[in-house]
Structure 1
Amino acid sequence: MTTRALPVRARAPRRRIKNSLNRVWVLHSGKIRKVFSVALLLAGCAGLYQVREPIGNLAMIGVELAQAQFAHAGLAVSEISISGQTLTSEQDVFDALAIQLETSTMSFDVDAARKRIAELPAVESVLVRKTYPGKVDVTITEKLPVARWRVDGITFLIDRAGDQIGEDRGAYGDLPLVIGDGAADDALAMIRAIDTVPQLKDELVAISRIADRRWDLIYSTGLRVQLPEQGVAQALRKLQDYQDEFRLLDRDLAQIDLRNDTLVALRPNKPIEETVTTPQ
């Protein structure tokens, strides 16, 4: 009896591929999901990056349209009130407010405007408020000028820290005048020292910084008093004593040198030479 083997059906190639994919999915499905998620996220970011400018432009157009609608509805900023400023120009405040014709009180950013105004040199603090339907109030508190500083032919006003807070246009002539490079940085200390000897302030027109190390006092008569680099307070008191006893500042002198604490050097003004002409 002959035994005949039955033919075995061969697996189709497509079925083998399917079985392999199923096995891979069962074994590595978690990793595959993560890879697909990252790929989708990157594709989404790339798509957004490509359309960022159109989206931004559309957003800006939408904001502008909304502002125009609010403005046409009677909410446009139509009145701006500024108070408290002397050194700060109104134009600088207007520029910092950044209010346009179509700006409405609904869209006006109070905090952003306040920060921009606070950066102006003379502003100590500022309050910005908006009142519906269309008013903006700005109240400024300015820094206090303590001296005038003349450098390169321009006279600035400076605060306690020596910072420029505006130009002197003639309204602060009663403030002390300091001149020279570096004078602003140490002006307050020198002004306080002079205030302790008020008699020396008569006819004092300027305090000059020399080589950013020491000071000279300059009087209306042209007299220059040279002060030492160290021990300024003591030198001023000595000068006050000389003035009380000898009226030294009232004499016809060109220079008083106090840089040496053991002596005082005086330089008189040169005598005026008379020229005699004889008739021909």
Structure 2
Amino acid sequence: MSRVNPNAKPKTRKKGRKTQAGLLQRIGWRRLAKGGAALGFLGGCALIWTSGLPQSLWVDLQKKLVAESAEAGLVLDELLVVGRKRTSQEELIAALDVRQGQPILTYDLESFRVKLEALPWVKSAVVGRQLPGSLTIQLVEREPLAVWQNRGQLVVIDQHGEEIPLSDIRPFAALPLVVGPDAPQHAVELVTLLAREPELSEKVVAGVRIGGRRWNLRLIGDIDVQLPESAPEEAYSQLARLAREHDLLERDLRVIDLRLPDRMILHGVPEGGGDEGEQAKGQAT
């Protein structure tokens, strides 16, 4: 459709002679007269309907009203969209199935809202008419937060832990990866935690939700960091400090256990093949 403004704000028309003159200039004196007749006709139809007129005659009157409104200039001229970032113009128009020149009074705005909210990126939508010829749409789109690995499938989730039904998630490969049945509901907590230490977060490959209570972090080099259930922020910041000041992550480690409040337990891989444990007291949260 032509004249689609993706970032427009709904027009606000000031009251007064200038506004009336502008309207007259747009639809013409003759159309204005017909438009008034159409609105009067609508009131008459309402009275007839409440008087018990057969539905078949009511339908005929509706058709006549639509024709009168179109002649009066009440047809779709432009689509004003606010809040569109990731929803394409083509998706939006296809969902509504509207065309320029259609009678604007025939549109079912509630149906439009439902169709728009079925689009992958749309969280909520408000649809309205701005006569004589504008259809206004205000969108609130989802924000991608993380990629959730669930039963071998990868899906993008938003900040509310809800799946965004995308056919291709490759553009979002840089998002944090979370694993576990309840990981989406707690993904915001993990992302907030990782943001505390950006340098260390670059080494995090995935966050694995354990027992519905806490997180394990898988780092580059196949190192597993076991975070505590309580105060994981303090443990993570302590790990970041040790990584910066003592090159902790450069050691041949398999597991860094931070679950105990007074110590850090390190598990390495010795030449013999078995795990070796090392406790570092006073270096944990």
Partner of 2:234: 234
Q: Distance in 1 between matches of 2:59 and 2:123?
A: 34
Deviation at 1:201, TM superposition (A): 0.8
1:16-165 aligned within 5 A? 55-56=54-55, 58-68=57-67, 70-71=69-70, 75-77=74-76, 79-80=78-79, 82=81, 84-88=83-87, 93-94=92-93, 97=96, 99=98, 103-108=102-107, 110=109, 113-114=112-113, 117=116, 122-123=121-122, 126=125, 128=127, 130=129, 134-152=133-151, 153-159=153-159, 161-165=160-164
- Contact 2:157 2:184 (C-alpha < 8 Å) held by counterparts: no
The question of whether the paired residues in 2 share the 8 Å contact of 1:68 and 1:102 is answered with no
Deviation, 1:78, is 5.9
Bigger radius of gyration: 1
Residue 200 to residue 65, structure 1, CA distance change in 2 (3 Å)? same
Counterpart for residue 268 of structure 1: 269
Percent sequence identity is 28
Relative to the length of structure 2, the TM-score reads 0.59
Distance 1:85 1:157, change over 3 A: farther
Matches within 5 A, 1:220-259: 220-259=220-259
Report SS of the residue matched to 2:217: strand
Query: Secondary structure, in 3 states, of the residue corresponding to 2:170?
Result: coil
Q: Letter of the 1:142 partner, please give it.
A: E
Pairing 1:177-216 to 2, within 5 Å after superposition: 177-216=177-216
Would you say the 8 A contact 1:67–1:102 is kept in 2?
A: no
Cα distance 1:67–1:240, how it changes in 2: closer, same or farther (>3 A)? same
What is the CA–CA distance in structure 2 between the aligned matches of 1:150 and 1:85, rounded to whole Å?
A: 28
Alpha-carbon distance in 2 for matches of 1:145, 1:92: 19
- CA deviations on 1:21-69 (whole Å, 9 max, x unpaired) are xxxxxxxxxxxxxxxxxxxxxxxxxxxxxxx9x9445534543453355
Taking a change above 3 Å as real, the CA distance of residues 83 and 170 of structure 1, as seen in their structure-2 partners, is farther
User: Any idea what the Cα deviations from partners look like across 1:129-187, whole Å, max 9, x if unmatched?
Assistant: 5455544343434243333333341321312x333345373334443332221111111
1:69/1:270 CA distance change after superposition, 3 Å: farther
More moved, 58-67 vs 208-217: 58-67
Q: What's the TM-score, normalizing by structure 1?
A: 0.59
After superposition, the Cα gap between the structure-2 partners of 1:96 and 1:69, relative to the gap in structure 1 and judged at 3 Å, is farther
Task: Say whether the 8 Å CA contact 1:207–1:217 is kept in structure 2.
Answer: yes
The answer as to whether partners of 2:147 and 2:154 remain within 8 angstroms in 1 is no
Residues 171/271 of structure 1: CA separation in 2 closer, same or farther (3 Å cut): farther
Structure-2 change in CA distance of 1:150 and 1:131 (3 Å): same
